[in-house]
Structure 1
């Protein structure tokens, strides 16, 4: 594909006009500068599928211990223990193993009836001719309710928790996120943990309080309060942000491909494949940053020790050498592994839950309505670069 342009190549994830539709720039990056250096913000961007996969699987060279967001890596912020996506082995291995057992597909499937009932509650009021917001009326509600089920957070507190986690990743349009406010010490959730210590229940928070680990020093012990705070903070933020935005991309992408939307509506067995294609085509987590621990060469470019690298997952997912016609949405595409959930030791631990929530939500949508028109003038794109999507995505049901 010829991607030559008279305009100088420039990639900046904070630039609104790029971030709202980054794919033309991503295409040029893959073809013209697969390892791109942004001088203003001092980071390297890696855009080809093979390079992204290789880099993210090399956790020794590309470290997560300083964070997985460019602004946080640059800030030198020290994370509380337990936020394992911001850790390297051996502490990462210890903490991830704890949640891997709790977030198994088997355990997640137990949630299906509860998720379905809540989706029905959200969707039952809507009928043809009504306005429906894929975020405000569903995508912003279901993930937080599920996290509440898992952690034992009271329903009355969930909206406040959602607003709190959302505020931490906000950035002023056109500017990097303020790393100083993006993460707390986890005390936002301390009252829930302290309550569960006195009132155990059948939820993940209680299980965490009772879990024993063999830590990186070889000592067998229970998780500390700080470790549990870190894990709960991470689960609340990650569970709320990405899945909600994924549902908005489902609404947008299917609206723009009405023939495929009709196929899915008429054949519910296509829903899982459709979700995988939306995940590839419009990943809510569009990139993941790493700190470079040694000099390393990619595509003939030397990246010095101490640098920050941005692995552009959304670009890798459309790499023409991996995905034929990568910029085309096709629910009938030959099955290939995308990198929306990452790869290597930091592959997203909540991917089974994200797929489950999205599948149930889409199934329940199509039971009630099969077509909608997007109110683009009223849609609000999110002012955050750590995840990509919509704060509001209103449609009119047909």
Structure 2
């Protein structure tokens, strides 16, 4: 098969990450892509997509070929400009130096210290709803919990937290054809960046025991062995990444848990009967519905897969959400099974760009489910009142009313 005769041209399968109807129910489309067009080509938006678990796995482990330097969303990759200077948009070896530095924010000691704080936040958010008819599991709980945890980790004032959460949600606003590259989203990102720069300046003058202070004191080792402090742009960019990614992905994870466990009540009963299954249930939920189902890359060389050559410079989407439902890797993938043995799902990525906050996300997800099931062993979802969040990089619900 030649380069021009891609497997997608042989079928009528169509995938568009900006299409809200597809985003609402993508699994049938992704299944057809895996079966009929594992190297998919979209001419309208000039991108390729890999949907099978093995292909997404291999590409994630090869940052030299599948580069993040031009961005990791289709909007950034298509903009023609340079991606913001964030660690997520930097390839090794520079990425490796930054990762070592920023990974200190997620040391086992620091994560362990958050256990009781996360549990207390869950109590504060869930207890008022005990004895009620129901509540919004995402807006009143799932979105609030990670925002409070990340804000406390950084040192964001509790009085600022509601506004910061609103700004983060606005950053992910999409518009048809342009996705998140729109004035509403860009203005929100500018507001968050400005806020973080101001906080960093305040910590230089008055250090505290928080991550803002750690960022202004952090030293980066250069190739020649010299060290330097991070400048405001570098520190603020990391703060933007941490706050936005750490809030949005965990909020979507908790939302999907609320929906999936209502759809599979037998699995919820297993967790109520044996809370020891909850850590594995978190992994299964991540596989079942990846909070961030698409990761963009650009090719540094020609790549041939399944008889199709993708040329150097192409934009490629790695569909981690599809990979989690690939029957080649997971038997009965459309069934939630909290006892499933999962060797490796791809919802946190792999390789150089493996999610720095994965341990924190797992901890928040586990404690959120423990505290939810302790109070509410059964619930139903009001699907008519549920509202989806549509972006090209995170997927889930912003409102999920439940009756308890």
Contact map agreement 2:135 2:402 (CA 8 A) in 1: yes
**Is 1:139 aligned with 2:139?**
no
Map 1:322-333 to 2 at 5 A. 322-333=329-340
Q: Distance in 1 between matches of 2:28 and 2:100?
A: 39
The C-alpha deviation readout for 1:171-220, integer Å capped at 9, x for no partner, is 13676222674454932311111111111111111112111121245431
Query: What secondary structure, in the 3-state scheme, does the structure 2 residue paired with 1:289 have?
Result: strand
Return closer, same or farther for 1:94/1:78 CA change in 2, 3 Å cut-off: same
Paired residues of 1:80 and 1:226 also in contact (CA < 8 A): no
Secondary structure in 2 matching 1:156: coil
Q: Evaluate the alpha carbon distance shift between residue 53 and residue 7 of structure 1 in structure 2; reply closer, same or farther with a 3 A threshold.
A: closer
The answer to whether structure 1 residue 305 and structure 2 residue 312 are counterparts is yes
> Of residues 219, 222, 228 in structure 2, which corresponds to 1:221?
228
Distance in 2, Cα, partners of 1:259 & 1:55 = 36
Equivalent pair of 2:67/2:91 in contact (CA under 8 Å): yes
Structure 2 counterparts to residues 254-269 of structure 1, below 5 A: 254-269=261-276
| Residues 386 and 397 in structure 2, CA contact (< 8 A), matched pair in contact too | yes
- What is the DSSP-based 3-state SS (H/G/I as helix, E as strand, rest coil) of the residue aligned with 1:389? strand
Give the match for residue 7 of structure 2: none
Partner of 1:34: 38
1:102 aligned partner: 105
Q: Is the aligned partner of 1:360 residue 2:364?
A: no
The Cα offsets for residues 30-50 of structure 1, whole Å up to 9 and x where unpaired, read as 110100000101100101111
Counterpart secondary structure, 1:334:
coil
Q: Which residue of 1 aligns with 2:343?
A: 336
Q: Within the alignment, does 1:271 sit opposite 2:278 as a pair?
A: yes
CA distance in 2, matches of 1:84, 1:163: 24
**Alpha-carbon deviations, 1:321-340, whole Å to 9, x = none?**
11111122111112321000
CA contact (8 A) 1:105 1:353 kept: no
SS of match in other structure, 2:242: helix
Structure 1 328/69 Cα, relative in aligned 2: closer, same or farther at 3 Å?
A: same
Aligned to 1:159: 162
Runs of 5+ unmatched residues, structure 1: 1-5
Distance in 1 (CA, whole Å) between partners of 2:365 and 2:29 is 29
Q: In the alignment, is residue 200 of structure 1 matched against residue 207 of structure 2?
A: yes
Q: 1:176 aligns with which of 154, 158, 179?
A: 179
TM-score (norm 1): 0.94
Aligned to 1:14: 18
Give 2:287's aligned residue: 280
Contact 1:36/1:45 (8 A) holds in 2: yes
1:106 CA drift (Å): 3.1
Distance 2:176 2:397 in 1: 14
Per-residue deviation, 1:383:
2.3
Q: Please point out which of 47, 51, 58 is paired with 1:47.
A: 51
Give the 3-state SS of the residue equivalent to 1:125 in structure 2: helix
Aligned equivalent of 2:28? 24
**Structure 1 range deviating more: 331-340 or 386-395:** 331-340
Q: Secondary structure at the match of 2:160?
A: helix
Query: What residue number does 1:148 align with?
Result: 151
1:238 aligns with 2:241: no
Once residues 54 and 372 of structure 1 are traced to their aligned partners in structure 2, the CA distance between those partners, rounded to angstroms, is 39
Structure 1 residues 146-171: Cα deviation after superposition (integer angstroms, max 9, x where no partner): 11111111001011111112211111
Distance between the aligned counterparts of 2:176 and 2:277, measured in 1? 37
Gaps of 5+ in 2: 1-9
CA-to-aligned-CA distance 1:242-262 (integer Å, 9 cap, x gap): 101110000000000111111
Provide, for residues 106-140 of structure 1, a one-character-per-residue CA deviation record: whole Å limited to 9, x for no partner: 32111111111111011111124422111111111
Give 1:294's match in structure 2, choosing from 284, 289, 301: 301
Give the secondary-structure state (helix, strand or coil) at the position aligned to 2:13: coil
Give me the whole-angstrom Cα distance separating, in 2, the residues matched to 1:51 and 1:60: 15
Matched, 1:115 2:122: no
C-alpha spacing 1:218/1:300, structure 2 compared with 1 (3 Å): farther
Please state whether the residue corresponding to 2:295 is helix, strand or coil.
Answer: strand
User: Partners in 2 of 1:288 and 1:68 — Cα distance?
Assistant: 6
